[in-house]
Structure 1
Amino acid sequence: MKLTVGLGSVDEYIRFSEAGADEFFCGYVPYSWTQKYDTMMPLNRREVLCSNVQLGAFSELEILSSMIRDYQRPVHLTFNSLFYLPEQYPEIAKIMKACMCLGFQSYIIADPALILYLREHNIDCEIHLSGETGEVNSRMVDFFQQFSLKRVIFHRKNNFDDMKAVIDAEKSHGGLRSRTEFEAFVLNEMCQFAGAFCNSFHCDELGHLCRVSYWLEPLRESCGDSSLRQLHPSPPAASPQTSLPHTPDLPDGYLCGATGCGLCALYRLREIGITHLKLVGRGNYNDYMEQDIRILRRALTLLEQSTSEEDFKDTLRRTLFSYKCSKVCYYL
C-alpha cells in the first residue's frame, strides 16, 4: 500500500518525501478565482489564505513540477467542490489544461458534471473519484467507470464490508477495471460528517462546523409509543461526551492519530484490496505531519513482517503506541 499525503505548500514536498511519502494531493486555487468568486463558490472546499493549505500561484506549480521530476513523487490536484456554476466549467478546464502542461495529470474530482464535461471535451486526465462525491457502492462505481476512473477514494464512513464489495466487483470485471486503485483514510481529520453532506465553508472567515462541540445520544422511545422516537440534543449534566478529541499533555503536544486513526486497521485494509492510504493534514503543523508519515511508514514495515492480524496489532501497540493511543478510531 502506498502512502498519499496532504500537501499544504511547496516547502513541504521535499521534507515529506524524505520522511517516506509516496505521493501527494494538494489544492490549487488561482488568485483570479478567489477575486471573482470569493469563498462562496469554492474551487476545492479549502478556501484558506492565512495558512498553508493550498497553492495559490502558478509559479508555485512550476516549482513543484520541477521537484516532482527530481523526487518522482506524483502530486494529485483537488477540485473537490460538490458542484459548480455552468459558466465555471470552461474556466476550470482552462486551469486544468495549464496544469497538465506542467505535468500534473491526475485530479481528484467530486462533481459528476465536471467529470462529464472533461470527458466530453476530450481532456485526457486521470480522474480520482473523490470521497466527497457521496455514498460509494459497486453500482455507483460501475456507473462512473464509463469515464475511466484511475482511482476510487472511499469516504470516512465506509466500513470494511462496503469497501470489499466495491473492490471485489471491480476485480470481477477484469481488464483495465481490475487495475483500478482504491484509497482509504488512515490518519487525521475524522469528522462527524461525510464530505458530501457537510455544509461548512472551510475558509478563514468562518469556523468549521466539524470544530463545533457536539454530543451524541441514541434515539429512544418516547411516550411509550415505539413509532415515536426523539433525539435529545442537550448533553447530560454530568460528563458530556464531545466527539472532538483533545491532544493529551505530551512533551511536544503531539499524539499520532489524535484526530482520527486507522493504523490498527492496516492489516484488514490490505486484505480487502486497498492500494493507497490517505494521510490528511493540509494546514497541519509540519513537524506533526512529518512524525505522522514516519510512524505510518514504520507501521507498514511492521505489517510486512507480521504473520497474522493479531501479531500485527500486538506488535504495533507495543512498538508504536507504548506511550499513548488516541482511541479515535476510523475503523472499529
Structure 2
Amino acid sequence: MDNGMKITAGLGSIDEYERFVQAGADEFFCGYVPFSWAEKYGTVMPLNRREVLCCNVQLGAYSELEILSRMVKKYKKPVHLTFNSLYYLPEQYPEIGDIIEKCMGIGFRSYIIADPALLVYLKNRGISCEIHLSGETGEVNSEMLKMFRRFPLKRLIFHRKNTFRDMQSVIASQREVEKQAGIRPEAGMELEAFVLNEMCQFTGAFCNSLHCDEMGYLCRVSYWLGTVRNGDAVPEKIMALQEQAWDQEPDLKAYDESGYLCGETGCGLCALYQLKQAGITHLKLVGRGNYVDHMEKDIRNLRKALEILDAAENEREFKYTLKRTVFPAGCSGRCYYQ
C-alpha cells in the first residue's frame, strides 16, 4: 500500500468502467449473477443481495465479464466481485465455488465475501483467491479480526456504523500483529471504509431485507431512531433531532443545474482527514444503479477532496477548503461520521 487512500467505486455495467477510470477511480467492485442462478433461485436466495434487473446494478452474463477482464488488462484498474449474502443453502456452496473458479480463469482474483461459511468452503476446496471481508459480515473488532486471520484476508471492509476510535483500535492491533510477524507495512492488510452514498439506518449483517425489483427497499422506508426504556419507546427528543438531521431536505441551492448534490444520500468527505489518521487505505464509493453522470461527478469530487487533503496542513484547513471548493452552496448534512 502507498500513503494515499485509493478510491474503490461501485460498477453497475461494463459501459461505465472506462468512463469511471477517466474520472479518477483506482479500482472497482461489482456484482455478477449468472442468469442460471437467478432462474433457479429467484430473489429470495440472492447471490450478492442486489438481485435487480430493471437497472444497471450488476453483470448477468459471462460474456460481459470476459469484456471487463480485457478492459482491466488494458487500464490496470482491478475489479473485485461481490458475493455479499449473509448465508447460502448447503447445495449452493459448490455452485458458488464453480462460479469463482470460472471467474478466476479470466483474471478476477479478488472477491468481497460476507458469509464465514463460504470462506471455510473455499479454503477446504483449495480455491486460493484474494478475499475482501465484506462490511456485511458483522461487528468489527480486534477479536473478530483475530478469528478471521485463519483465512487469506487481503482487505477488511469496515461497515457503515464504525467510529473513528473503533477503526483506529482495530487497525493498530492489526499493524502490531503484522510487525511481530515481520510483514512490511506496504504488504499489510488493506483497510476500507464507506465514504459516499447510501447511508443506511441498518447494519448490513443484521438486515434481512431484499434488494430487488419486486418491492421497495426497506432502507428507503421512512423511519425514526429512538431509545427504548423499560420496554417502551421514548422517541420525542430523538425524533426532533432526526427530523432536523435527516428528514429535512437539503437546500435546493446546493444542487447543480442537473439535480446533482455530492453526498446527497450519505457523505463522509469531511471525515477524510480522520480516516487517513486512523489508517484507512481504501475508500468505498457506493453507486451501483446510480445515475452514471452523478457517479462520475462523485468520483471527481472524491478525487478533488483527496487532493485538498494532501495539500492541507491540518484538519481545519482541509475542511475549510473542502467546503469552499466542493460544497460552496452547502451540503446534504447527511454525514456518515458525526
Aligned-pair CA distance for 1:319: 1.4
Q: Which amino acid aligns with 2:315?
A: E
Residue 216 of structure 1: how far off its partner (Å): 2.4
* Residues 314-323 or 143-152, more deviating: 314-323
Aligned to 2:150: 146
- Corresponding residue SS for 2:120: helix
User: Is the counterpart of residue 186 in structure 1 residue 195 in structure 2?
Assistant: yes
Aligned to 1:64: 68
Go from structure 1 to structure 2 and tell me whether the alpha carbon gap of 1:236 and 1:44 turns closer, same or farther (over 3 Å shift). Answer: closer
Residues 141 and 245 of structure 1: is their aligned pair in 2 closer, same or farther, counting only changes over 3 Å? Answer: farther
8 Å CA contact retained: 1:214, 1:243: no
Q: Distance in 2 between matches of 1:125 and 1:192?
A: 32
Deviation string, structure 1 residues 2-60 (Cα, Å, up to 9, x no partner): 00000000000000000000000000000000000000100000000010000000000
In structure 1, give the amino acid aligned to 2:294. Y
Matches within 5 A, 1:161-240: 161-174=165-178, 175-176=182-183, 179-219=188-228, 228=230, 230-232=232-234
Which secondary structure state, in structure 2, belongs to the residue aligned with residue 78 of structure 1? strand
User: Offset at 1:177?
Assistant: 8.8
Partner SS, residue 158 of structure 1? coil
Q: In the alignment, which of 104, 111, 114 is matched to residue 115 of structure 2? A: 111
2:139 pairs with 1:130: no
* Alpha carbons 2:225, 2:238 under 8 Å: kept: no
Listed one character per residue, the Cα deviations across residues 81-110 of structure 1 (whole Å, up to 9, x for unaligned) are 000011100000000000000100000000
Flag the 1:286–1:244 CA change in 2: closer, same or farther, 3 A: farther
- Do the aligned residues in 1 keep the contact of 2:9 with 2:285 (CA within 8 Å)? yes
Cα distance in 2 for partners of 1:132, 1:237 equals 27
Provide the C-alpha distance between the structure 2 equivalents of 1:238 and 1:277, rounded to a whole number of angstroms.
32
Query: Where does structure 1 lack aligned partners over 5 or more consecutive residues?
Result: 221-227
Deviations 1:123-171 (A, max 9, x none): 0100000000000001101110111200000000000010011100010
Please tell me whether residue 292 in structure 1 is matched to residue 298 in structure 2. Answer: yes
Cα offset for 1:324?
1.8
* 2:96 equivalent to 1:92: yes
The alpha-carbon distance between structure 1 residues 331 and 24, as it changes in their structure 2 partners (threshold 3 A), is same
Q: In 2, Cα distance between the equivalents of 1:286 and 1:21? A: 13
Amino acid at match of 2:321: T
Q: TM-score with structure 1 length normalisation?
A: 0.94
For residues 266 and 240 of structure 1, the distance between their equivalents in structure 2, rounded to whole angstroms, comes to 24
1:75 pairs with one of 76, 79, 85: 79
Distance 2:295 2:92 in 1: 34
Say which SS state the counterpart of residue 11 (structure 1) adopts.
helix
Change (3 A) 1:271 1:186: same
- Cα displacement (A) at 1:229: 5.0
Question: How far, CA to CA, are the matches of 1:12 and 1:66 in structure 2?
Answer: 14
Distance 1:160 1:236 in 2: 23
SS in 2 for 1:104: coil
* TM-fit CA distance, 1:243: 3.9
Q: State the alpha-carbon separation in 1 of the partners of residues 132 and 205 from structure 2.
A: 16
Moved more, 209-218 or 36-45: 209-218
TM-score by length of 2: 0.92
* Cα 1:245/1:188, change in 2 over 3 Å: farther
Q: Is 1:244–1:259's contact at 8 Å kept on the other side of the alignment?
A: no
**Does the C-alpha gap of structure 1 residues 113 and 49 become closer, same or farther in structure 2, counting only changes over 3 Å?**
same
Q: Summarize the Cα distance change of 1:295–1:113 in structure 2 as closer, same or farther, 3 Å threshold.
A: same
Partner of 1:266: 272
Specify every segment of 5 or more residues in structure 2 that has no aligned partner in the other structure, as ranges: none
For the Cα contact (< 8 Å) 1:188–1:260, is it kept in 2? yes
3-state SS in 2 of match to 1:117? helix
Q: What are the equivalent positions in structure 2 for 1:235-250 lying under 5 Å apart?
A: 241=243, 243=246, 246=249, 248-249=251-252, 250=255
Paired residue secondary structure (1:132): coil
In 2, Cα distance between equivalents of 1:161 and 1:237: 27
